Amino acid sequence: MQEFNDVRGLIIDMDGVLWHGDRAQTGIGDFFQALRNRQLPFVLATNNASMTAEQYVAKLAGMGVEVGVHEILTSGMATALYLAQRYQPQSTRVFVIGGIGARQPLIDLGFTLTGLNDTEPQTRAHLVVCGMDRELSWDKLATATLNLRAGAHFIGTNGDMSLPTERGETHGNGAILAALTATTGVKPMIIGKPEPIIYRQALGLLNTPPERTIAIGDRLDTDILGAVRTDIRSLMVLSGVSSRADVEAADFGPTWIVPDIRDVTRMLLDLPA
């Protein structure tokens, strides 16, 4: 096993790593204190696009952890940035399934968001962006379907089929994407993990070389596979979705496996000064 001794930056998942729903993982405070003591830069990169960076900062503050907005990267933010680099925001209309975390980054970058009744040729969307939506309705699915059938490009903030919560594992955004693909035949482009887009954006924020950067996550099929595709090392915690049995059954895997972030903290404390 490789030694954990040459890390210069971390890309850290949140759901299943730092918390389950609104319940913080034991040791979360010590983990972040170790990061600060080591002056180790990090980006909290999550596939969950339901909240804004500011809301994640507030959620962590409620758990006794202080981070800055610049240390957060959601798949909603990554999606908006990716689209702004490829479309003219001021002339591009977007229909969004998802919460404020998917909508606000697009608004911030100048995109026009369309509504449920904007399906005529002069008002319909050029893009359909779909993120996790806790207020999903038939009307939202119908509007997305009409736009996709009219030729809108289909973008998924992430493809997670499940989401760990304090009540257990529930459906994720991938289930919504699957429903829209089933009715339209259009497959979405995925921005979040396991695609390398969000990891590459995180590397840009960290300004650390890939070979000295480590991704921490709980899902083999997203966090770890995304790291493999980005050619960076990874550490999987067993406090979320995936298990050792999942790793043994796969043809890829993390560089390290530990039970939870308390073990990661011990690894950080053992780093050479």
Residue 209, pLDDT score: 95
Residue 191, pLDDT score: 97
Give pLDDT tens digits for 163-215. 766 787 778 899 999 999 999 999 999 999 999 999 999 999 999 999 999 99
Mean pLDDT of the chain: 95
- 13 catalytic? Reply is yes
pLDDT confidence of 36, banded at 50, 70, 90? Answer: very high
CA 20 to chain centre: 15
Q: Is the pLDDT of residue 144 over 60?
A: yes
Residue 1, pLDDT score: 56
Q: Which residue has the tokens 């008002």?
A: 123
Over range 22-50, report the average pLDDT: 96
Q: Spot the catalytic one: 13, 160, 221, 223.
A: 13
Residue 212, Cβ neighbours under 10 Å: how many? Answer: 13
- 15 catalytic? Reply is yes
Q: 257-261: list long-range contacts, CB under 8 Å, 24+ apart.
A: 260/25, 260/26, 260/27, 261/17, 261/18, 261/25, 261/27, 261/28, 261/31, 261/237
Residue 239, pLDDT score: 94
Residue 269, pLDDT score: 92
251 has binding-site annotation: no
Over range 80-96, report the average pLDDT: 98
What residue ranges define each of the domains in the chain, with the CATH number in brackets?
9-47+193-269 (3.40.50.1000), 77-190 (3.40.50.1000)
Q: Which residue has the higher pLDDT, 7 or 21?
A: 7
pLDDT confidence of 91, banded at 50, 70, 90? Answer: very high
What percent of the chain is predicted at pLDDT more than 70? Answer: 99
Residue 164, pLDDT score: 66
- Cα separation, 113 vs 93, in Å, equals 6
15 has binding-site annotation: yes
59 has binding-site annotation: no
Over range 52-63, report the average pLDDT: 97
Residue 56, pLDDT score: 98
Residue 271, pLDDT score: 87
246 has binding-site annotation: no
For the entire predicted model, the pTM comes to 0.93
Q: Is the pLDDT of residue 237 over 90?
A: yes
Q: Spot the catalytic one: 6, 15, 118, 246.
A: 15
Residue 171, pLDDT score: 83
Over range 90-94, report the average pLDDT: 97
Over range 156-161, report the average pLDDT: 92
